[in-house]
């Protein structure tokens, strides 16, 4: 059992999960706002041996060094790799601190977002219509950049709706090949696709000036990644130079620190994470608790 478990910021646990935390710690502290800096994080952690955080804060070496009691960090957000994590996992492992993350909890909402926004473009619902008259997803040439869990789910949804789906990934996906989805090198996929979905891990940038040239004109680009899949300036030049559209759910997926692109007339951003649904919060909570339970058994 933890002596003290601190959630340093809002971590999106459902009420029942917050109550269950008290079974695993003598004291539980939940903060309702995001800490301003490292020193505030250190103050909030104090002498706690267990810490929870979401994606809006970081626990780096400096924080770890000033919080020597910490033995466990639970990431209530997606953990794809050590390199992209908002926790210094390398330092933690070297000093006996366990770090656990989760993934694949908000993907269904992302698929629903992709279908919803695409249909609005194709039919001209509350926005400029993509073509001169409404078109269906049927026969649409859709390209997937990244075929992880959410990318694969979007691809299957597009295929179900009658799209011609091709994909680019670090490796071939025989299961998707068998379903009639075609693997293509990235430049070829961009050139031949009418609509492209970027579904990449955090901090993976695959699209630069040359890739946007290959993508060409009259296209729709979606980014459902946690962060940008491109350089903001290259995206802006692509939008300014043709009749193209870009869509994403959060401002972070645009990757523009100035915020100017958010108001670009060809950028459509709902500015709310599509994966943040009631069902997703429930699944997130269960996975966070599963990680704590596993740690308690093995500690």
Measure the CA–CA gap between 190 and 141, rounded to whole angstroms. Answer: 10
In terms of domains, do 80 and 119 share one?
no
Q: What average pLDDT score do residues 114-141 get?
A: 96
In terms of domains, do 139 and 261 share one?
yes
CA distances from 172 to 119, 146, 167, 175, 298 (A): 29, 11, 9, 9, 36
Helix runs in the chain, H state only: 15-21, 38-45, 61-65, 89-94, 107-123, 149-160, 174-177, 186-192, 209-215, 232-240, 278-298
Per-residue pLDDT, 283? 94
As a whole number of Å, the end-to-end CA separation of the chain is 9
In terms of domains, do 85 and 166 share one?
no
- Partners of 126 in the β-ladder: none
Per-residue pLDDT, 84? 81
pLDDT interval class at 281 (50, 70, 90): very high
Residue 298 CB-density burial (10 A; 0-12 exposed, 13-18 middle, 19+ buried)? exposed
Q: Measured at the alpha carbon of residue 70, what is the angle toward residues 68 and 73, in degrees to the nearest 5?
A: 145
In terms of domains, do 93 and 112 share one?
no
The encoded tokens of residue 66 equal: 């000033």
In terms of domains, do 120 and 91 share one?
no
Per-residue pLDDT, 82? 87
DSSP 5-44: EEE-S-----HHHHHHHTTSEEEEEE-SS--SSHHHHHHH
Reported as a single tens digit per residue, the pLDDT across 49-77 is 999 999 899 999 999 999 999 999 999 99
- Indicate the number of domains in the chain: 2
In terms of domains, do 13 and 67 share one?
yes
Measure the CA–CA gap between 170 and 9, rounded to whole angstroms. Answer: 35
In terms of domains, do 243 and 290 share one?
no
Per-residue pLDDT, 78? 86
120 phi and psi, to 5 degrees? Answer: -65, -35
Q: What average pLDDT score do residues 103-131 get?
A: 94
In terms of domains, do 146 and 223 share one?
yes
Determine the structural domain holding residue 235 and report its residue range: 107-269
In terms of domains, do 242 and 259 share one?
yes
Query: Higher-confidence residue: 149 or 80?
Result: 149
In terms of domains, do 99 and 136 share one?
no
Q: What is the CATH number of the domain that holds 290?
A: 3.40.50.720
Count CB neighbours of 164 within 10 A. 18
What is the chain's length? 299
In terms of domains, do 244 and 291 share one?
no
Count CB neighbours of 55 within 10 A. 19
68: left (phi over 0), alpha (psi -120 to 50) or beta: alpha
In terms of domains, do 219 and 113 share one?
yes
Least confident piece of the model among 98-107, 115-124, 237-246: 98-107
| 47 has a pLDDT exceeding 90 | yes
| 155 has a pLDDT exceeding 90 | yes
The helix (run of H) or strand (run of E) holding residue 77 is strand 72-78
Measure the CA–CA gap between 40 and 50, rounded to whole angstroms. Answer: 16
pLDDT interval class at 202 (50, 70, 90): confident
């Amino acid at each position: 059992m933890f002596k003290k478990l601190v959630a340093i910021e809002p971590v999106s646990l459902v009420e029942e999960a917050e109550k269950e935390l008290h079974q695993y710690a003598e004291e539980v502290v939940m903060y309702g706002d995001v800490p301003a800096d490292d020193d505030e994080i250190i103050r909030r952690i104090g002498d706690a041996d267990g810490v929870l955080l979401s994606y809006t804060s970081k626990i780096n070496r400096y924080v770890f060094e000033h919080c020597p009691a910490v033995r466990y960090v639970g990431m209530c957000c997606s953990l794809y790799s050590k390199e992209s994590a908002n926790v210094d996992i390398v330092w933690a492992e070297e000093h006996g601190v366990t770090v656990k993350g989760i993934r694949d909890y908000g993907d269904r909402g992302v698929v629903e977002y992709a279908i919803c926004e695409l249909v609005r473009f194709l039919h001209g619902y509350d926005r400029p219509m993509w073509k001169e008259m409404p078109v269906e997803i049927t026969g649409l040439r859709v390209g997937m950049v990244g075929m992880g869990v959410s990318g694969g789910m979007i691809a299957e949804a597009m295929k179900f709706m009658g799209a011609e789906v091709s994909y680019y990934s670090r490796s071939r996906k025989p299961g998707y090949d068998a379903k009639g989805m075609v693997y293509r090198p990235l430049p070829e996929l961009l050139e031949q696709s009418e609509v492209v979905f970027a579904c990449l891990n955090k901090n993976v940038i695959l699209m630069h000036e040359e890739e946007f040239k290959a993508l060409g004109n009259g296209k729709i680009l979606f980014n459902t990644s946690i962060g940008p899949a491109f350089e903001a300036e290259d995206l802006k030049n692509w939008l300014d130079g043709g009749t193209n559209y870009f869509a994403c759910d959060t401002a972070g997926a645009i990757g523009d620190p100035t915020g100017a692109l958010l108001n670009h007339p060809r950028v459509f951003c709902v500015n709310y994470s599509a994966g943040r649904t009631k069902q997703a919060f429930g699944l997130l909570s269960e996975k966070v608790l599963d990680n704590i339970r596993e740690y308690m058994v093995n500690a």
